[in-house]
C-alpha cells in the first residue's frame, strides 16, 4: 500500500508544464518512470488476479461469447479454448476488454516471426520507404538476420534495417499525412492474421468482423506511442484489436478529451486489448517500454518453443531454430504490436475524392512525420513533443 500511495503522490506533485493537459502530464510522468520503484505502483497488472495497483478497484470481469469460437478454430489460430481465457474490463470504460495472454504455449513464436519476417516485406508499406528505394527495402529480414545473430558479439555494430523499422501497414494502407484510407492504396491482408483477428473479435461478441487494415508498431526500449485517437476508419461500430509481443509496456487509456486523466496498465507479451463501443474513440498512448528486470532476456512465455506437430489446418506455420534465434535477438530489447481494424461497414464504399485530394494523397502516402504525435511509434530523442 505504501508503494501505491507513493506513486499517486509522485504524480500529484509533478509540476505541470505550460498548457499541459492531464493526459500529457501522466504521459510525461510514465515516460520518465523508473522500473522497480514506486513510480509504477499505480499501474494495473491484469496478469495478477483482478489486477493490482490503486486502479484495480476499477477492474471488472468481462463476459466472452464462448460458443462463438470452436476449440478447434481457436487452436488453429494458436489460442487456448475461449472457455479458458480470462477477460477484464474497467469501470468507466464500457467496450474496453483486456485479455491476458490467451495464446497456447509456444504459439506466439509464429506471430513474432510473421511481424519480422513476412509482414515487413513488400508490397506492404513501412517507414523506411521514405528514405530508401523499394529494392533496398525488398526483404528486410534477409538483410538483417546476420546482423541480429551477431548482436551479442558485436555491440558496437551498425543497427540492422529491422532495428530501424518503426511501422508497417497492411491491407488498406493508412496515409499518415491525410489520415485517411483509400480504395486505390490496398494490398491483400494476411490471411493468417485475418483468421486470428476474426476469432478474437467473435469471442468478444463481434461476429462478422472483417480484418481490412493493420498497423504494426515496432518499439525499441526508448520508443513511445503519442497520444491519439483511432478515428480514420469509416465504421466505428467495429472494434480495434491490439496484440502485444516481446518486452512489456505501459498503456494509458484516457477519455474523449485530453483533460481527463488516463488509467495506466501493463501490456505483457501475448496480451490482447479490444477497444469497442464507447472506448473505441478514446485517447490512448504508450509512454514507456520496460526493459526486462533480468537484463536483455525474453519474457518467460516466449521461452517455450512452438510445437513441432501442428493441427493439419492450422494457420500457424513451423518456426525454425534459425529463425527464432533472429527473433530472440531482436525481442530481447524490443516490443512488437499489431493493431487490426475493419475500415468499412458491410456494403460501404469509400467516398468519392476530388482529383486534388487524390493528388495530395499520392504525393504523401505512407510517410510519417516524427514530430506529429499521431505518428504511431516514435523515438524519444526524435520527438520533443512527447
Instruction: Give the 3-state DSSP-derived string for 69-120, with helices as H, strands as E and coil as C.
Output: CCHHHHHHCCECCHHHCCCEEECCCCCEEEECCCECCCCHHHHHHHHHHHCC
Instruction: Answer whether the bond into residue 123 is a cis peptide, omega within 30°.
Output: yes
| Residue 236 labelled as part of a binding site | no
| Residue 284 labelled as part of a binding site | yes
| Residue 228 labelled as part of a binding site | yes
SS3 63: coil
Q: Rounded to the nearest 10 degrees, how much is the dihedral formed by the CA atoms of 17, 19, 22, 23? A: -90
Q: Strand locations in 221-354, DSSP E?
A: 223-228, 240-246, 249-253, 263-267, 272-275, 284-289, 334-341
Cell of 101: 495472454
Closest CA to 89 of 256, 236, 278: 278
Question: Is the separation of the CB atoms in 244 and 302 below 8 Å?
Answer: no
Cell of 54: 490503486
Cell of 43: 499501474
Question: Is the separation of the CB atoms in 186 and 172 below 8 Å?
Answer: yes
Count of other CB atoms within 10 angstroms of residue 314 = 19
Residue with the three cell numbers 551477431: 150
Cell of 52: 493490482
Residue 21 phi/psi, 5-degree rounding, is: -85, 175
- Summarize the annotated binding site for Fe cation as residue ranges: 228, 230, 284
- Summarize the annotated binding site as residue ranges: 228, 230, 284
Amino acid at each position: 500500500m505504501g508503494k501505491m500511495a507513493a506513486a499517486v503522490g509522485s504524480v500529484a506533485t509533478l509540476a505541470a508544464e505550460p498548457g499541459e493537459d492531464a493526459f500529457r502530464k501522466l504521459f510525461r510522468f510514465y515516460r520518465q518512470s523508473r522500473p522497480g520503484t514506486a513510480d509504477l505502483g499505480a499501474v494495473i497488472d491484469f496478469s495478477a488476479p483482478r489486477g493490482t495497483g490503486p486502479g484495480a478497484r476499477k477492474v471488472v470481469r468481462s463476459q466472452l461469447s464462448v460458443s462463438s469460437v470452436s476449440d478447434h478454430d481457436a487452436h488453429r489460430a494458436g489460442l487456448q479454448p475461449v472457455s479458458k481465457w480470462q477477460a477484464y474490463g474497467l469501470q468507466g470504460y464500457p467496450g474496453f476488454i483486456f485479455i491476458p495472454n490467451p495464446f497456447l504455449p509456444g504459439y506466439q513464436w509464429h506471430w513474432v516471426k510473421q511481424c519480422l519476417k513476412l509482414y515487413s516485406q513488400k508490397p506492404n508499406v513501412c517507414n523506411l520507404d521514405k528514405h530508401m528505394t523499394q529494392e533496398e527495402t525488398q526483404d528486410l529480414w534477409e538483410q538483417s538476420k546476420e546482423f541480429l545473430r551477431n548482436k551479442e558479439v558485436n555491440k558496437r555494430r551498425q543497427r540492422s534495417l529491422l532495428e530501424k523499422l518503426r511501422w508497417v501497414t497492411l491491407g488498406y494502407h493508412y496515409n499518415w499525412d491525410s489520415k485517411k484510407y483509400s480504395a486505390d492504396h490496398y494490398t491483400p491482408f494476411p490471411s493468417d492474421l485475418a483468421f486470428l483477428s476474426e476469432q478474437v473479435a467473435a469471442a468478444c461478441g463481434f461476429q462478422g468482423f472483417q480484418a481490412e487494415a493493420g498497423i504494426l508498431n515496432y518499439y525499441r526500449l526508448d520508443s513511445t506511442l503519442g497520444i491519439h485517437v483511432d478515428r480514420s476508419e469509416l465504421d466505428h461500430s467495429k472494434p480495434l484489436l491490439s496484440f502485444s509481443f516481446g518486452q512489456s509496456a505501459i498503456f494509458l487509456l484516457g477519455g474523449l478529451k485530453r483533460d481527463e486523466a488516463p488509467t495506466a496498465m501493463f501490456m505483457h507479451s501475448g496480451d490482447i486489448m479490444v477497444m469497442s463501443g464507447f472506448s473505441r474513440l478514446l485517447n490512448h498512448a504508450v509512454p514507456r517500454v520496460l526493459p526486462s528486470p533480468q537484463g536483455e532476456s525474453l519474457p518467460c512465455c516466449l521461452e517455450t518453443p512452438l510445437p513441432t506437430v501442428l493441427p493439419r489446418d492450422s494457420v500457424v506455420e513451423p518456426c525454425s531454430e534459425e529463425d527464432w534465434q533472429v527473433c530472440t535477438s531482436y525481442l530481447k530489447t524490443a516490443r512488437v504490436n499489431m493493431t487490426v481494424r475493419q475500415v468499412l461497414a458491410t456494403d460501404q464504399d469509400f467516398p468519392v475524392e476530388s482529383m486534388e485530394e487524390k493528388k495530395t494523397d499520392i504525393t504523401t502516402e505512407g510517410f510519417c512525420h516524427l514530430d506529429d504525435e499521431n505518428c504511431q511509434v516514435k523515438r524519444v530523442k526524435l520527438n520533443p513533443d512527447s
